[in-house]
Amino acid sequence: MEALVLDVPKRTATVKTLPIPSPSPTQLLVRTHFVALNPVDALYVSHPLAPKSQTRIVGSDFAGTVQQLGSSIPASARESLKIGTHVAGFLQGACSVNERPGAFAKFIVVDWDLVWRVPGWMGLESAAGVSLCALTAAQGLFARLGVEAPFEWDSRNTDNERGVSEVKDNTHGKNGDPLKVFIYGASTSLGQYAAQLVRIAAHASGREAVLFGAASPARHAMLKVPPYSYNGLVDYREANWVEKLLEVQNGEGVQYAFDCISEGDSVRNVIKTVAPGGKMAVFRSREGKAWAAEPGELPFEPVYGAVWEGLGVEVQYQGFTVPASASAREFAVNFYGFLSSMTEEDGPLVLRPNLVRLMPGGLERIVPDGFALLGPGSMDNRDTSRSEAYMRPISAEKLVYQVLKQ
Ligand SMILES: NC(=O)c1ccc[n+]([C@@H]2O[C@H](COP(=O)([O-])OP(=O)(O)OC[C@H]3O[C@@H](n4cnc5c(N)ncnc54)[C@H](OP(=O)(O)O)[C@@H]3O)[C@@H](O)[C@H]2O)c1
Q: Does domain 133-327 have CATH number 3.40.50.10490?
A: no
Q: Measured in angstroms, how far is the CA atom of residue 190 from the centroid of ligand 1?
A: 7
Please give the number of the atom of ligand 1 that sits closest to the Cα of 188.
19
pLDDT-flagged residues of the chain (< 50)? 157-173
What pLDDT is recorded for position 4? 98
What pLDDT is recorded for position 175? 52
Percent pLDDT > 70 in the chain is 94
Residues whose CB is less than 8 angstroms from the CB of residue 100 and which lie 6 or more positions away in sequence, other chains included: 56, 91, 92, 93, 94, 311, 313, 315
Report the run of H or E that residue 127 belongs to, with start and end: helix 124-127
DSSP state of 238: S
CA distance 240 to 243: 6
Asked if residue 260 has its Cβ within 6 Å of ligand 1, the reply is yes
Question: What fold characterizes domain 2-130+353-402?
Answer: Quinone Oxidoreductase; Chain A, domain 1 (3.90.180)
What pLDDT is recorded for position 155? 59
Please give the number of the atom of ligand 1 that sits closest to the Cα of 396.
43
CB 304 within 8 A of CB 163: yes
What pLDDT is recorded for position 343? 86
Please give the number of the atom of ligand 1 that sits closest to the Cα of 397.
19
Q: Give 204-245 pLDDT, tens digit per residue.
A: 989 999 999 999 999 999 999 999 999 999 999 999 999 999
Asked if residue 188 has its Cβ within 6 Å of ligand 1, the reply is yes
Domain locations in the chain as residue ranges: 2-130+353-402, 133-327
Q: Measured in angstroms, how far is the CA atom of residue 188 from the centroid of ligand 1?
A: 4
What pLDDT is recorded for position 127? 98
Q: Give 132-163 pLDDT, tens digit per residue.
A: 999 999 999 999 999 989 998 875 544 444 33
CA distance 275 to 395: 29
Q: Measured in angstroms, how far is the CA atom of residue 37 from the centroid of ligand 1?
A: 12
Q: Whose CA is closest to 123, among 244, 4, 217, 33?
A: 33
